[in-house]
A and B are shown apart, each in its own frame.
Chain A
Amino acid sequence: MDSLTQIVASGLTVGAMYAVSTVALSLVWGALNVLNMGQGAMLAVGGYIAYTAVTAFGLPIPIAIVAAAGVGALVGAVLYFLVVKLMIGKDGFETNVIIATFGFALILENLVLRLYGAYPLRQPIGLDGGWHIGAVHVPYQNILLVLVSAVLMTVVAYALKSTRTGRAIRATAQNRGATELMGVRVSKIFLQVLMIGGGLAAISGIMLSTITTLAPTMGYDPMLKAFIICVIAGLGNIYGALIASFVLGLFEVSVQFLFGVRFGFPALLLLVISALIWKPFGVFGRRKTDRL
């Protein structure tokens, strides 16, 4: 029973962190057809900015988080203007943009490296202490993360469903041409989505760094995991991504608990590959028809 509690607690925490960054990736992919390989670097940037805001500027934690999210959004905007905008509509966009965002990630990583060094830092944001369920110690930090994630995801879901811009974003993901015919300036939507994605990535990075440490390459592994989760859910399916994050978070933690930490990622990968063999467009994904 204690083991189960431990697994559930950890799995939900991990799932919560994945949810934020997975939804960001899914949004960007859905609306723009962009697999943002810079996501991992943007995660790290978010964590570091929050760190600086608290340690160097002494800002209160909520402000630091907002500041970091703001910087994340800014990075998303830079990505749009310098890279995406110039490439959209051209041949091979889907694969070329992966390479371009990879390059962008390298530049970001180098900047972080120069500013903060390679030595891992401790994120001063977080709660101490925890709750005891049976013999299991559930840190308050983890509970907070799950709550933050839940709130954030609810806000995003609401915004997408009920606001004019949210509707336009969904429309762009479903039929870009038709959206233009409604009088929507689609390039503005692209910019907004990349900024939202950047902000969410930053927050995800802050969350992650409170549980692990701050290091320039901290975002790479979580980014891959978030992508894998997205792929299972069907890239572009936001609600599927949300559900899959928690399911897969629990799965990963279970495997790690039963077989050892090192088998967590490989197990995820095997699961994804099997799922894709079964449903090549993702479990909740939809087939895109080719127009001849």
Chain B
Amino acid sequence: MMKNDSAGRFRTDIVIGSVLIVAAIIIPFVFPTRYVIGQLTIFFLWATVVSQWNLVFGVAGIFSLAQMAIFAMGGYVAGMLSLYLGWPLWISMFFGGFASVLFSVLIGFACLRLRGAYVALLTLAIAQTMYLLIITDTACFMRTGVTCRNFTGGTRGLAQFGDFGFRELLPYKYMAFGNYFIGLVVLIFAVAFSIFVIRSPIGLAFRALRDNQTCAEVRGISKFKYQLLIFSSSAFFTGLAGAVYAGHFRVMGANTLYLNLLLFLLSMLIIGGVGRVWGPILGAAALMLVDEVLKEFVNWRLAGLGLILVVFIVLLPKGLAGYIEDIFQRGRKNKATVGQDE
């Protein structure tokens, strides 16, 4: 019974995914404005981050607030490798991903054995530490002509590390398409990974852990090991997204560590629906649209965001994906009660 249901859901995922991919491929040709393509590229990156955050928080139950620190680590390492060692960004971006994995393993060992609220605090503190260390970086690391550069770029940010090279490769009209498709490809792999985790036995093991930790542990499922596994593997995609961000904007700054941005992405996660496969995409899309609207009311952007967050977490905790899934469940003939995402 359960296997059939899992297979059915997987098929649905493939269908939804395919439709979205086709749409994503077509859109830039239909709306070739720089602005739209740029915004969509950013959407892909944020959706990637949120999709991995969804695994970390929604599936593995780790309340990590260090996701942007991991993102930034990927971007900074990629940028630094390109800047200081001259590597092309195409290669250093993967090393950015690896660096993020290493970073997340460290964080994991420090934090994962602790209670939920403690994890949130510590990961937040780690992100804040990274931020502080970057913006107080004033020591001279490298001389370029007359000016002095700090190691991390300090408050001005890390720059001059090159990009993905589309300026030279593509005609002017299609220049932005390059980064767009890189972002898309990263997102596709990230979402595929998350579908794999959620629909696989690992996902099931986590649901067991979440529902009754002590029982599951008695049966030999080590919470720490599994959590570390998800935390670190998801960090690869998060870090990769960071590297693409660096390549897209051609600068990597500590502004990626701003609390407001963290909360913006957290909102995407919550509103989309925690633990749901398509939650991150829905949430990211919804919030970027809301943000477009709120740009008119730029003075109340923060409050608007805060309000949405509070409303959703208090009143609509299942998120958009959750409620949409509920509607489809009611429509289905087979009412499967086992194996559902909670």
Question: Which A residues fall within an 8 A CB radius of B?
Answer: 29, 35, 82-83, 86-87, 90, 92, 94-96, 98-100, 102-107, 109-111, 113-114, 220-221, 224, 227-228, 231, 235, 261-262, 265-266, 269, 272-273, 276-277, 280-281, 290, 292
Contact = CB atoms under 8 A, between A and B. Distances in A.
**Which residue among A96, A220, A281 has the maximum number of chain B CB atoms within 10 Å of its CB?**
A96
Contacts of A87: 313-314
B125 to A, nearest CB: 5
A273 B110 contact: yes
A110 B302 contact: yes
Interface stretch (B175-183, B197-205, B303-311): B303-311
Nearest to B136: A262
B312 to A, nearest CB: 9
B120 A98 contact: yes
B313 A114 contact: no
27 contacts: A86-B314, A87-B313, A92-B317, A95-B63, A99-B309, A99-B313, A100-B310, A100-B314, A103-B305, A106-B263, A107-B302, A107-B307, A107-B310, A109-B306, A114-B300, A228-B125, A231-B118, A262-B132, A265-B125, A265-B128, A266-B132, A269-B125, A269-B126, A276-B110, A280-B113, A280-B114, A290-B214
Interface of B: 63, 110-111, 113-118, 120-122, 124-126, 128-129, 132-133, 136, 212-215, 259-260, 263, 266-267, 270, 299-303, 305-310, 313-315, 317
Nearest to A228: B125
A103 B128 contact: no
Contact of A276 (B114, B124, B315): B114
Given A87-B314, A272-B122, A95 B306 contact: no
A94 B121 CA distance: 12
Given A110-B302, A272-B122, A102 B132 contact: no
A113 B302 contact: yes
Given A83-B314, A100-B314, A276-B118, A107 B136 contact: no
A266 B129 contact: yes
Contact of A110 (B132, B303, B314, B315): B303
Contacts of B267: 103
- Closest 10 pairs (CB-CB, A-B): A106-B306, A103-B309, A110-B303, A262-B136, A110-B302, A103-B310, A107-B306, A103-B306, A107-B303, A273-B110
